[in-house]
Amino acid sequence: MEKNYFSKHEFEVLSDKDFFYTKRAVNEKLIALLEVTQRKISEYISSSGFPFPEECHRKKGKISKGENYNMLPWFMLDYPAFFTQKDIFAFRTMFWWGECFSCTFLMSGEWMKKFQICFKKNYSMLSGTGIYFCVNESPWEHHFGENNYKLLESLNPEFVFKQIEKAGFLKLSIKIKLEEYEEVPDKAVGFVGKMLGVLEGKYI
């Protein structure tokens, strides 16, 4: 039988159980950070007056996690959020191990029909915000590669509107550096406020 030899670095990793103890502690703190984020978003939207879809779950968020988004662990807070196969209205706050945090707004179906006129009308409100626009045909990729996201301010508005019609969804995101983790709750609230403002032309 052919032997599988580990490199020196691989064997060091193989022997390092302390990493997993540390990872567990980090995971608990990440969940706590997302819970704080949810609470701050809840406080904001409860006084915003925004006409959320009735089905949109605003009382309790959902924190999901996994070990293999492009081979790296991740955590995701969906709040406030409503998902069906066709209709989506969701804010997502994500941690991607070793890469970044991100805040994303995703909308499709009936909610796209309801709010797309306001989005086009108030599009200029997004100028200079550092927001990324999804150019992918799938709304389920989260990396910031050029085949998935492009800076909104670098794109022609007509291209953006045509891409939304073609893809059938609107997806906008901000990227937060790992070292800015303490700012995640406030940046998430700011992003939610910006998106709600664009959809209604106020609240900013």
Question: In this structure, is residue 108 part of a structural domain?
Answer: yes
Provide the domain limits for residue 171: 8-200
pTM comes to 0.92
Structural domain count, the chain: 1
The CATH number given to whatever domain includes residue 149 is 3.30.930.20
Tens-place pLDDT, residues 3-30: 778 999 999 999 999 999 999 999 999 9
Reported confidence tier of residue 203, pLDDT bands at 50, 70, 90: very low
Question: In this structure, is residue 2 part of a structural domain?
Answer: no
User: By the 8 A CB rule, do 96 and 46 touch?
Assistant: no
Question: In this structure, is residue 147 part of a structural domain?
Answer: yes
Using the predicted structure, report yes or no on whether residue 59 has a pLDDT greater than 70.
no
Residue in 164, 184, 166, 162 with CA at minimum distance from that of residue 175:
184
Question: In this structure, is residue 46 part of a structural domain?
Answer: yes
Using the predicted structure, report yes or no on whether residue 136 has a pLDDT greater than 90.
yes
Question: In this structure, is residue 3 part of a structural domain?
Answer: no
**Which of 44-58, 68-82, 155-169 shows the lowest per-residue confidence on average (mean pLDDT)?**
44-58
Residues 6+ apart with CB under 8 A from 191: 91, 103, 105, 174
Average pLDDT along the chain:
93
Residues 6+ apart with CB under 8 A from 116: 164, 170
Question: In this structure, is residue 1 part of a structural domain?
Answer: no
